[in-house]
Amino acid sequence: MDPASSSGSGSSSKSWIVYGLAAGAAIAAAAGAFSFRGSSKFRTRVIGIIPARFASSRFQGKPLVQILGKPMIQRTWERAKLASTLDHVVVATDDEKIAECCRGFGADVIMTSESCRNGTERCNEALQKLEKKYDIVVNIQGDEPLIEPEIIDGVVKALQGAPDAVFSTAVTSLKPEDSMDPNRVKCVVDNRGYAIYFSRGLIPYNKSGKVNPNFPYLLHLGIQSYDSKFLKIYPELTPTPLQLEEDLEQLKVLENGYKMKVIKVNHDAHGVDTQEDVEKIEALMRERNIS
Ligand SMILES: *[C@@H]1O[C@H](CO)[C@@H](O)[C@H](O)[C@H]1NC(C)=O
Ligand SMILES: *[C@@H]1O[C@H](CO)[C@@H](O)[C@H](O)[C@H]1NC(C)=O
């Protein structure tokens, strides 16, 4: 074996890293060059779905919480509308108050049942209820009001450029202080940017038993996109051992042998899970002059 190819570092392992707009264009070019079955267009019809429920164990009515004077769900929706790859953006909810609020600022709303156990199931139900057909569904978490449209476009283009993958998602650099936090999910990828594994523990594990300050650890971000045919079967797949042990839904995808494309982006995660998070994000927005 060529020692150079086994090193894993160098240009090949960097080729899947994308940054913002310029990188989006690079992915689009790569997708075009791939030329799937003689056609340069693949998985062209794309919908962004923002699943939102009112009842949350930790934060009742979370999607409607005001962030600098606007409901959080509206902020997420406005960001999603700026993504150039989305043909359509809808909010999927089981709650009339959320639906009314969203229609008020101009969003299309799909009512879904209260029995949806999570965002993935809600996206799937919404997809079935839509009249038009879509090839890709982007699951946009409603609690990331500062999600960059470029990240949404990045995961879409990644899935369009990787016909062998059924799923795409994004990672960013893990902050050293988050290394041991089980709520921060870590990810390792191969040198073409396909996911190898996700864990709540620190991966890879350095044999010194310490965090290696020189290793570029990756933090998984919540955004994900699916091939719509895959989304139909995803909720039906039987839970798998690693998924159950780590309590990470996405492991089911890998354990069943499906491929998942991962892009690396620059993003400070500002997920809103508590009232304190709202105050933090508002302070940050004031600081950065985001209105
Ligand atoms: C582990 O981390 C140290 C730095 O803390 C680094 O020098 C070393 O290369 C890493 N890997 C192994 C196998 O020790
Ligand atoms: C969440 O959704 C996935 C995929 O649809 C499903 O397989 C899983 O069982 C769900 N998790 C829970 C806790 O309901």
Interval 152-168: pLDDT, tens: 999 999 999 999 999 99
Distance between Cα 199 and ligand 1 center (Å): 20
Dihedrals φ, ψ of 204, to 5°?
Answer: -70, 160
Which of 181, 146, 176, 147 is CA-nearest to residue 284? 146
Distance between Cα 208 and ligand 2 center (Å): 36
Dihedrals φ, ψ of 262, to 5°?
Answer: -120, 135
Which of 43, 138, 161, 162 is CA-nearest to residue 86? 138
Distance between Cα 92 and ligand 2 center (Å): 17
Distance between Cα 119 and ligand 2 center (Å): 8
**What gap in Å lies between CA 51 and CA 143, rounded to an integer?**
10
- Give the nearest ligand 1 atom to 206 CA: 1
Q: Which of 39-48, 51-60, 101-110, 272-281 has the highest mean pLDDT?
A: 101-110
**What stretches of 11-61 show up as alpha helix (H) in DSSP?**
11-14, 20-34
Pocket lining: 78 vs ligand 2, CB cutoff 6 Å: no
Residue 23: its pLDDT value, please?
41
Pocket lining: 120 vs ligand 2, CB cutoff 6 Å: yes
Pocket lining: 206 vs ligand 1, CB cutoff 6 Å: yes
What distance, in Å, lies between the first and last C-alpha atoms of the chain?
Answer: 55
Mean pLDDT for the stretch of residues 261-267: 95
**Which amino acid, 209?**
G
State the ligand closest to the CA atom of 123: 2
pTM, two decimals, is 0.84
Residue 17: its pLDDT value, please?
58
Pocket lining: 117 vs ligand 2, CB cutoff 6 Å: yes
Residue 144: its pLDDT value, please?
87
Cβ contact 120:137 at 8 Å: no
The length of the chain is 291
State the ligand closest to the CA atom of 202: 1
* Digit-coded pLDDT (tens) for 159-201: 999 999 999 999 999 999 999 999 999 999 999 999 999 999 9
What domains are there in the chain, each with its CATH number? Answer: 41-288 (3.90.550.10)
The DSSP bridge pattern shows strands 88-93 and 70-71 to be: unpaired
- Give the nearest ligand 2 atom to 236 CA: 7
**Which amino acid, 57?**
S
Mean pLDDT for the stretch of residues 229-234: 95
**What gap in Å lies between CA 144 and CA 270, rounded to an integer?**
6
* Digit-coded pLDDT (tens) for 46-76: 999 999 988 777 788 899 999 999 999 999 9
Dihedrals φ, ψ of 48, to 5°?
Answer: -100, 125
Pocket lining: 212 vs ligand 1, CB cutoff 6 Å: yes
Residue 29: its pLDDT value, please?
41
What single-letter DSSP state applies at residue 47?
E
**Best of 113, 114, 120 for a ligand 2 pocket test (most atoms within 8 Å of beta carbon):** 120
Pocket lining: 121 vs ligand 2, CB cutoff 6 Å: yes
State the ligand closest to the CA atom of 237: 2
Residue 60: its pLDDT value, please?
86
Q: Distance from CA of residue 6 to its chain's centroid?
A: 30
* Torsion region of 203: left, alpha or beta (phi above 0 gives left; psi -120 to 50 gives alpha): beta
Distance between Cα 204 and ligand 1 center (Å): 11
Distance between Cα 41 and ligand 2 center (Å): 31
Pocket lining: 255 vs ligand 2, CB cutoff 6 Å: no
